[in-house]
Amino acid sequence: MTNQTNSGQVNLAALGLLLSLVLVLGGALALYYFKGRTITLQDISAASKISGLEFNQKEKRLMLTDLEANLRNFREMREISLENSIAPSLIFNPLPSGFDLTRFRNDTGFNPEEPDEVRLPDNLEDLAFYPVTDLAWLIKHRRIGSEFLTRLYLERLKKYGPKLRCLVTLTEDLALQQAARADRELAAGLYRGPLHGIPYGLKDLLAVRGYPTTWGSPIFKDQQLDIESTVFEKLTEAGAVLVAKLSMGELAWGDVWFGGQTLNPWDLEQGSSGSSAGSASATAAGLVAFAIGTETWGSIVSPSTRCGTSGLRPTFGRVSRYGAMALSWSMDKIGPIARSADDLALIFRYITGPDGKDRTVYDLPFSYHSRLDLKKIRVGYLKEAFDRVRNNQGKYLAVLDVLKEIGLEPVEIKLPAINPNILSFILNVEAAAAFDELTRNNLDDLMVRQGRNAWPNVFRQARFIPAVEYLQANRIRTLLIEDLARILKDIDVYLTPSAGPNLLLTNLTGHPAVVVPCGFDDSGHPLSISFIGNLFEEGKALRLAKAYQEATGWHLKHPDLSRLDKPEAGAPDKKLK
């Protein structure tokens, strides 16, 4: 028994020695294997958990060398300076399979309705609220001069702009030069069209040489770009007069910028929404005849709703974004904010078309017939969206009643089954790429808004979205495009309350929207309805919106700015979160 016990102890000792050697050798091998590595197995475990993936130890070890090679490539890539204006080589295509572009090429008709006569108001200050169509008639027939109208708007911008916090830069010298030229040309018999001599404002993400283009952020407060945005060039060629660069939510989110929160002229306790905050606020307040805004996810629709203006978000690929701040290359769109559907059509005509600089722009004419027989427009409505409305439902349903009264019978349609919200991170990824250097250099700490629901946090968390999932999301986006095309096969325009999932869906698919006021809530805040058109068929949505406006007159209302004359108006913000 004793010999057996001693033998067992010797065997155990030998086994222990062997295990120790294995551990030492294993540790040495591991030390050799991982020496100098910047990525560990634990790093892969943590990262894969964020992505919702699982890998075994062997799979993780196999990845290490390639992950470190990727990291070296990332670092080398970051040595290459990428300005915001440089777009990816991957171009978003909103066209469903089989989409026929040729049918649009021959439809070049543009027939806006010109007033028979426009009378001057007793109080010339009231001209500030005239639609572009009326102002154009007065200028064309030389009842007023562009310089007179320009000075009127400049004075209003000086008086009310700081209080509404909608004004970033007054372009007074440029405006007076352009207005004087417009008057000289008209006197010489040269009339450029309905925008000739009309004062307007630009959202401050569109470059104008010689003036700051701040993007609403203290980081870019002194930025001057030595280029002219295509939209500015086209409007200048049309004879329009730039009087102001208008506020925008910082880097195109919300209504808060480095100058404070842009206010809603209908309610000075409320922001104007965004991100085309100043464009909508200034237009509603009669500080410009019209303005240019941009939309990625509601940035024309939302402030137009809040401020009671008319807005057009065009089809993706209609308007060149050259000289405009990029937020999302596959979702950014530029469009007008004005007082009526007719105004939107006039303005839109002059800013569409390719410029050889923005490769996403289609060379297609814009067709608009202001007296098109309404019965030629097949109209639908999103019943589920109307049913979902909790407040003011009756006022939204009244829009359908108006259409029935003018001889239309909207038919019920349903949105695609795919929830667009699961794809919303597409915007986050592209925005994080557009402002990559802010995150890497900690410049995002200088932004006005901080916290979970603000750009700095979104830029950071977007870095953890896998490239594979971004591409998968865009593949699902293709399914959305095809599904919506099938739903709209027999529909030209459909109606919906402006908020809700339709807003993101149609920004993802690139469809145009015309948003117009449809009344007021019990507190006197404007409400809006959206007319969604098929791709490149803004004209039909505008025609239907025009008919609705003629039947209701909500677009003729404007806010009482006498409240802005009070000393406390425009007081410092209580909060900017």
- Measured CA to CA, the distance from residue 380 to residue 65 in angstroms comes to 56
In the numeric block, which tokens belong to residue 86? Answer: 């440089």
Q: Is 7 a catalytic residue?
A: no
- Per the CB < 8 A criterion, the answer to whether 361 and 320 are in contact is yes
Q: Is 203 a catalytic residue?
A: yes
CA-based nearest residue to 133, from 287, 349, 303: 349
| Gyration radius of the chain's alpha carbons | 29
In the numeric block, which tokens belong to residue 216? Answer: 């609403």
Catalytic-labelled residue, pool 203, 245, 540, 546? 203
What residue spans of 271-420 are helical by DSSP H? Answer: 277-284, 301-307, 341-351, 383-388, 393-405
In the numeric block, which tokens belong to residue 82? Answer: 């990428």
Which region, left, alpha or beta, applies to residue 392 given φ > 0 means left and ψ of -120 to 50 means alpha?
left
How far from the centroid of its chain's Cα atoms is residue 41's Cα?
41
CA-based nearest residue to 516, from 533, 497, 539, 536: 497
237, containing H or E segment: helix 230-237
**Secondary structure letter of residue 324 according to DSSP:** B
Cis peptide before 275 (omega within 30 of 0): yes
Catalytic-labelled residue, pool 146, 273, 276, 299? 299
Q: Which residues pair with 368 in a beta bridge?
A: 110
Q: Is 375 a catalytic residue?
A: no
Using alpha carbons, list the distances in angstroms from residue 122 to 125, 150, 285: 9, 19, 19
Using alpha carbons, list the distances in angstroms from residue 281 to 217, 257, 322, 398, 444: 19, 14, 25, 26, 27
What is the phi/psi pair of residue 167, to 5°? Answer: -105, 125
Distance spanning both ends of the chain, measured CA to CA: 82
User: Active-site residue numbers?
Assistant: 203, 275, 299
